[in-house]
């Protein structure tokens, strides 16, 4: 059995645009990915609304991804692959709102995965970095501009910056933007069609990482 950890924010949790609801289990991208990969692969979905790469949220506690990740690595050891799709919340004005800072946070998360002191003789899992879908203008969020309005352009820089981290750290990167688009309802989250498309679209890259040379 191959085991994959999908580590992300509300896009991984499955937040429905413009509401407090959650997409159905079968629509959330980690679960779609597991179905696409077929028997012999388990994908553990671990998404948290508001999760950042390395930042503490002054308004909502327990959102720092660098704090969460070591415990998850230990809890789910042995892992074959960790998929990290974070960075959107780092573009919030509270954390500087720059893609470059999100890249630094992503680099720290990869470092944690690669250098964690795994128990029971487990090896360090492979890492797939996924640049989140681009932010866009929101139709029904009156405070959106206060949080993310200046970050739409920054979100379009994430793919190139994550590719840079992947090259330097010896892992793989992928871009979610061609696979899924943020809903215009809130400018950030994915509708059911897009989250399903993301899971299906990531399957070839994940399959090649889990089965190299095939």
Q: Where are the domains of the chain?
A: 2-210
pLDDT-derived band of residue 97, with 50, 70 and 90 as boundaries?
A: confident
Predicted pLDDT at 214: 57
Predicted pLDDT at 143: 63
Of 71, 86, 67, the residue nearest 6 (C-alpha) = 86
Average pLDDT over residues 35-39: 96
Q: Return all residues near 212 (Cβ < 8 A) that are at least 6 apart.
A: none
Residue 140 pLDDT > 70: no
Indicate the range of 15-29, 46-60, 78-92, 105-119 predicted with least confidence: 46-60
pLDDT-derived band of residue 104, with 50, 70 and 90 as boundaries?
A: very high
| CATH number belonging to domain 2-210 | 3.40.50.1110
pLDDT-derived band of residue 59, with 50, 70 and 90 as boundaries?
A: confident
- How far is it, in rounded angstroms, from Cα 151 to Cα 64? 20
When the pLDDT of each residue in the chain is averaged and rounded to a whole number, the result is: 93
pLDDT-derived band of residue 31, with 50, 70 and 90 as boundaries?
A: very high
pTM of this structure: 0.95
What are the C-alpha distances in Å from 25 to residues 34, 38, 86, 122? Answer: 12, 17, 20, 30
The total number of residues shown for the chain amounts to 214
Predicted pLDDT at 213: 61
172 DSSP β-pair partners: 128
Query: What b-and-e string marks burial along 173-205, b requiring 16 or more CB atoms within 10 Å of the CB?
Result: bbbbbebbbbbebbbbbbbbebbbbbbbbbbee
């Amino acid at each position: 059995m191959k085991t994959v950890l999908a580590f992300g924010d509300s896009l991984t949790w499955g937040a429905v645009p413009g509401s407090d609801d959650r997409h159905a289990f079968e629509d959330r991208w980690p679960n779609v990915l597991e179905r696409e990969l077929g028997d012999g692969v388990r994908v553990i979905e671990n998404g948290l609304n508001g999760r950042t790469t390395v930042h503490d949220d002054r308004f909502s506690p327990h959102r720092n991804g660098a704090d969460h990740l070591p415990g998850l690595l230990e809890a789910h050891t042995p892992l074959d692959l960790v998929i990290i799709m974070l960075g959107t919340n780092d573009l919030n004005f509270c954390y500087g709102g720059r893609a470059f800072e999100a890249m630094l946070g992503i680099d720290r998360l990869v470092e944690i995965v690669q250098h964690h002191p795994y128990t029971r003789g487990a090896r360090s899992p492979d890492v797939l970095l996924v640049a989140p879908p681009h932010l866009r203008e929101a139709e029904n969020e009156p405070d959106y501009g206060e949080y993310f309005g200046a970050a739409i352009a920054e979100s379009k820089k994430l793919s190139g910056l994550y590719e840079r981290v992947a090259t330097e750290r010896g892992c793989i990167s992928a871009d979610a933007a061609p696979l899924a688009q943020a809903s215009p309802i809130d400018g950030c989250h994915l509708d059911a069609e897009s989250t399903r498309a993301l899971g299906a679209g990531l399957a070839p890259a994940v399959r090649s990482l889990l089965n190299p040379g095939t």
